[in-house]
Structure 1
Amino acid sequence: MKKVIFATAFIAITVAISGVFSYRVLDESAKKAEELNFMGSQGWRWHDELARLQIKSVDGQLPALRQVSGNKHYASLVTMSQDGEYRGFVFFDVDCEEGSIITNAHGDEWNNTRVSDAPPLQVLHCLRGKLVSMKTWQNVPSDVWEGQIGEYQFRVEFKNWDFTVLQRAYLKSTAELI
């Protein structure tokens, strides 16, 4: 009788542990899929899952790298232009009206400040129905890109970003046959 009770308890514990483990695996898989489809975007896949970097390639265009913020309020994206510049975008998960902008300057700052005295103006544009901040770099972004425009704040650390795939795609797109 003790063997039957022990076997039943062992089976019940095994089933419970398996159920918890299965739930955690499925929940983690759902979170990863949700992150790949952040803000309804499609076609992203993992480039470096540990660094939470995603990549998207579209025929006829250079690929882009993306990272969704930990709080899921924005996604940062970097690609290269046809001129070899790095272009950065921070898309906020906020709907907006096309053509609208938000800036960190007050109305009187626009009129009364000389351009040489003005602090760097940061602007959020409405692009494809989402608020976005943009920046370009001549060289590989290697530090932190951060900003606060109105109530919108972001911080992107590039230390774990591997831009090699963007560089290779750019060089391949500019290569000429001799």
Structure 2
Amino acid sequence: MRKPEPESVPVSIPLVVLDVREDGAVAVTIDGKQLAPEPFAPPWRRSSFGQIIDRATNDRTTAVRVEVREADGTSFTDIIAPRRRRATQPKPEAENPAPLPVFLTVEGDGFVPGEDVAVAAITGHTDAAGTGAARALIDAAQLSADTSGGVVEVLLLGRVSGTVVVQRVAP
């Protein structure tokens, strides 16, 4: 008598679809449900691919199938596998608590009210106020000081106006 074979269970992984428009904007769905950027974040762009995949895979803990549909009609599909998990070693407790971050302010004028303003060495984005002024708070711990006495250059770039503000700050 033959042994009964177990039923095969179909494997199902989420489908992430990225519809890229001619202007570079991207509409994202996961299994047919829209995936929007974080609140107050700029709309998804082609350059947001890494962020989209991180969100869709829960920071690369689950596998997903990705389908990218370009504006010219071409498309490609790939499977993004989860990262391998490493065994974590318990960290020794520090005797001194971690230092609090020090924030630096960089400001400039000449931006279009409400425009997206890039902050470089691209640490984030900010929006121009209704007056056309922009402001960025930068965690000095994220910046590496150059060799000229610990001074760092910070750049604000208006994505619409093209306004560029460069300031040197000392962390």
Scaled by the length of structure 1, the TM-score of the pair is 0.23
In terms of fraction of residues, the more helix-rich structure is 1
Scaled by the length of structure 2, the TM-score of the pair is 0.24
